[in-house]
């Protein structure tokens, strides 16, 4: 089963616009992570937010976490064509032996 | 040089054949993982290992086996491949932080 579910499944925007992706999950977590995957390639870690944090920034990335709603969002500001990729949230849940459970991803397309 | 490498990168095989996918990491991590990814889906965990003597089944271990030959090496085997095992396979490693580092993937096609 997949703990995290991303929304939307696909998102297409113009270069320079902001992109927001959402993730919902089901059980209590230690942390939530966002990964990026370029087509057919391995995943690259973007950012991690712990259960006691509400917001985190890294460059053009901003992640929020609402544990009461069991949801997270990833905001990419001033998007670039090179941001085109699939973005996955992954939860590190309590009692999971520190495994990650991935959502099905959001396919982001940034048009030049 | 890549920290997590996988071989082969692409493999086409026939139903019933035994296949081994190999993974090596140079990061000195204790924890290693095997995932599969199907089109339009996220990754699902097949097996994971916390050290050489510790192997654990993941969400979808049926039809697969693994071997942790050394801290740096973690192999995935399909004893008798079937078409619905056609997928992208990823290996990952993790050290003392919560971040996993992924290999480039192996695209496996079972005819």
Q: Give phi and psi for A21, each to the nearest 5.
A: -125, 145
| Terminal C-alpha separation, chain B | 33
Looking at the partner chain, which of B40, B45, B90 has a beta carbon nearest the beta carbon of A99?
B45
Instruction: Output the tens digit of pLDDT for each of chain B's 111 residues.
Output: 569 999 999 999 999 999 999 999 999 999 999 999 998 788 999 999 999 999 999 989 999 999 999 999 999 999 999 999 999 999 999 988 888 999 999 999 999
Task: Enumerate residues 45 to 104 of chain B having a beta carbon within 8 A of any beta carbon in chain A.
Answer: 45, 48, 56, 58-59, 88, 90, 92, 94, 98-104
User: With contacts defined as CB-CB under 8 Å, which chain A residues touch B101?
Assistant: 45
Transcribe A50-84 into DSSP letters: ETT-SEEEETTEEEEEETTTTEEEEEE-S--GGG-
pLDDT in tens, A47-96: 999 999 999 999 999 999 999 999 999 999 999 999 999 999 999 876 65
């Amino acid at each position: 089963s997949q703990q995290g579910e991303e929304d939307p499944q696909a998102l297409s925007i113009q270069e320079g616009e902001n992109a927001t992706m959402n993730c919902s999950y089901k059980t209590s977590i230690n942390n939530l992570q966002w990964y990026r995957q370029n087509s057919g390639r391995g995943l690259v870690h973007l950012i991690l937010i712990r259960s006691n944090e509400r917001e985190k920034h890294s460059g053009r990335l901003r992640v929020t976490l609402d544990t009461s709603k069991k949801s997270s969002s990833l905001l990419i500001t001033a998007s670039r064509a090179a941001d085109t990729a699939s973005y996955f949230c992954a939860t590190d849940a309590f009692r999971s032996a520190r495994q990650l459970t991935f959502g099905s991803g959001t396919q982001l397309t940034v048009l030049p | 040089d890549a920290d997590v490498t996988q071989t082969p990168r692409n493999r086409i095989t026939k139903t019933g054949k035994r296949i081994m996918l190999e993974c090596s990491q140079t990061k000195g991590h204790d924890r290693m993982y095997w995932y599969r990814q199907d089109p339009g889906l996220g990754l699902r965990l097949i097996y994971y290992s916390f050290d050489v003597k510790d192997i654990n089944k993941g969400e979808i271990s049926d039809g697969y086996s693994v071997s942790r030959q050394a801290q740096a090496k973690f192999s995935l085997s399909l004893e008798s491949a079937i078409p619905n095992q056609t997928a992208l396979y990823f290996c990952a490693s993790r050290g003392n932080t919560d971040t996993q580092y992924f290999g480039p993937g192996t695209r496996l096609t079972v005819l």
